[in-house]
Amino acid sequence: ESVVFEGYPSLMYGYTFEGCGKLTSVEFNGAWAKLEDGMFAECAILTDITIPDTVAVISEKAFYKTNIQTINLPVGVRVVEPRAFEACESLMTFTVDAANEVFTVVDGVLWTKDETTVVIYPAAKTGEVTFEEGVRFAEYAFVNSKLSRVTLPTDLTSIAEGLFYESAVDVT
């Protein structure tokens, strides 16, 4: 089952599609500005979504427990709230429009454009990773991570809230 939005409703509450067990794809055609809190939470078989260029904000838990493997962030996205992709255990990679002024992607990982802060490390990525001096981390950056080991920079002076929430990462 799929949903296609041909316009933008004047009011859309969070958790609108929560738990839609048959929803596999979503397409937005229109001037959407925000994907609300929990909008597609627990749509367990949701695998495909086309986010329009007009979306500026992806709210907390917008895609909680979906089965999306790749997220393509368009030029207009300015904010990805903490936990927007919590429990997306199939999420393997991000892509970002090259003209986006806020975010970029390095090896499928979502970073700030200046590549100083890891915003989201996709939960399905495995293995070990080491970060160099000067790198910082957004809140919940490694939520549900399947990495086996993360080596943090030695100059890191504070740890963001929920950095390794619900992950089995060995941190050094």
pLDDT per residue of the chain (172 residues) written in tens, 0 to 9: 898 887 766 567 889 999 999 999 988 877 788 999 999 999 999 998 989 899 999 999 999 999 999 999 999 999 999 999 999 999 999 999 999 999 999 999 999 999 999 999 999 999 999 999 999 999 999 999 999 999 999 999 999 999 999 998 888 7
C-alpha span between 108 and 121 (Å, rounded): 8
79-80: strand order across its sheet: 34-35, 57-58, 79-80
C-alpha span between 72 and 57 (Å, rounded): 14
Which residues contact residue 38 at a Cβ distance below 8 angstroms, ignoring those fewer than 6 apart?
A: 14, 15, 18, 59, 60, 61, 62, 64
C-alpha span between 119 and 103 (Å, rounded): 9
Number of residues that make up the chain: 172
